Amino acid sequence: MKAVIQDRYGSTDTLEFREVERPVPAADEVLVRVRAAAVNAYDWHLMHGDPKIARLVLGLRAPKARIRGRDFAGLVEAVGSEVKELHPGDEVYGEADGAFAEFVCAKDGAVGPKPAGFTFEQAAAMPLAANTALIGLRDVAGVRPGQSVLVNGASGGVGTFAVQLAKAFGAEVTGVCRTRNLDLVRSLGADHVVDYTQEDFTRTGRRYDIVLDLVGNRSLGAFRRALTPTGTLVLSGGGVYEGGSVLGPMSLFFRRRLMSPFTRRRLLELPAKPGKENLAVLRELAESGQIAPVVERTYPLSEAAEAIRHLEQEHARAKIVVTV
């Protein structure tokens, strides 16, 4: 099969589109014929081995997972002996390393039926980003109807879902983005938008019950200014944090842990883990029209390196999808 391979950390120049052996599913895995796969910040962080401390897990000199890509949508090709609910021919979506390929093996627990009526490209744009937003708002922050929620990075892959989910949960939503994306964020349901090129949301005097940070461009002190006295800050590791290439978001997380005992505000981290149950929740929300992916651009699989480069360098809006 054709796949996008990486044998050493580095830029998109380290990615090769070449023939590799097709994977074989284990007993608890599903083999999927990929029809579309989404690009995430996760992909370029892993591509660079950034932050460097993460290489203790990802691989010291080269990524252990050689095929890039994480989100996918496609058709079940085969299932392992322990898989009971999915069958060959089923249309599915989910998460697994190695999605930039013609076939991918995924754990049964990270795959579910794709939303009815959605294209494969739309479905592929959802798993990691929408699941991250769902966990951050519902599980970590515990958002409730009537609360005020600010999404920093509202026009990105996770942010576009976070705005929609916060509205679906009954919150009053403020989205922070750059000038060209204001209309996009409004169209997703945001009650208020802040143009970060013109205004610093941490200095407006307005306070929020929940701040979901997807960028990492503010200090903890600045974030606290934007919170109510008992507000909640949720930090995601997907942004470009001030810890540099060695610690990355870990520097902010460490300071968060040191500061938490001394404040009434909740300063929390966002652990995004794939799961069949959350895929089912997202499918229901999508089929009911409460959330929908925004796809800025698609690239063929052979141009996956260019798709990652576009996300990394061009401040892409919403989701970039690779088609197979």
pLDDT by residue for the chain (324 residues), tens only, comes to 999 999 999 999 999 999 999 999 999 999 999 999 999 988 888 888 876 777 777 777 778 889 999 999 999 999 999 999 999 999 999 999 999 999 999 999 999 999 999 999 999 999 999 999 999 999 999 999 999 999 999 999 999 999 999 999 999 999 999 999 999 999 999 999 999 999 999 999 999 999 999 988 888 889 999 999 999 999 885 544 444 444 344 444 444 444 444 444 556 666 667 889 999 999 999 999 999 999 999 999 999 999 999 988 866 788 999 999
Rounded to whole angstroms, the Cα distance separating 182 from 174 reads: 11
In terms of pTM, does the model score above 0.85?
yes
Rounded mean pLDDT of the chain? 89
Q: What interhelical angle do 157-168 and 127-134 show, nearest 10?
A: 50
Structural domains of the chain, with CATH: 2-126+293-323 (3.90.180.10), 129-269 (3.40.50.720)
- Tell me which DSSP letter residue 141 carries: I
CA atoms within 13 A on the CB side of 86: 33
Helices and strands (H and E) in the chain: how many: 11, 15
pLDDT of residue 166: 98
pLDDT of residue 312: 82
Residue among 321, 320, 318, 316 nearest 294 (CA): 318
Burial zone of 53 (CB within 10 Å; 0-12 exposed, 13-18 middle, 19+ buried): middle
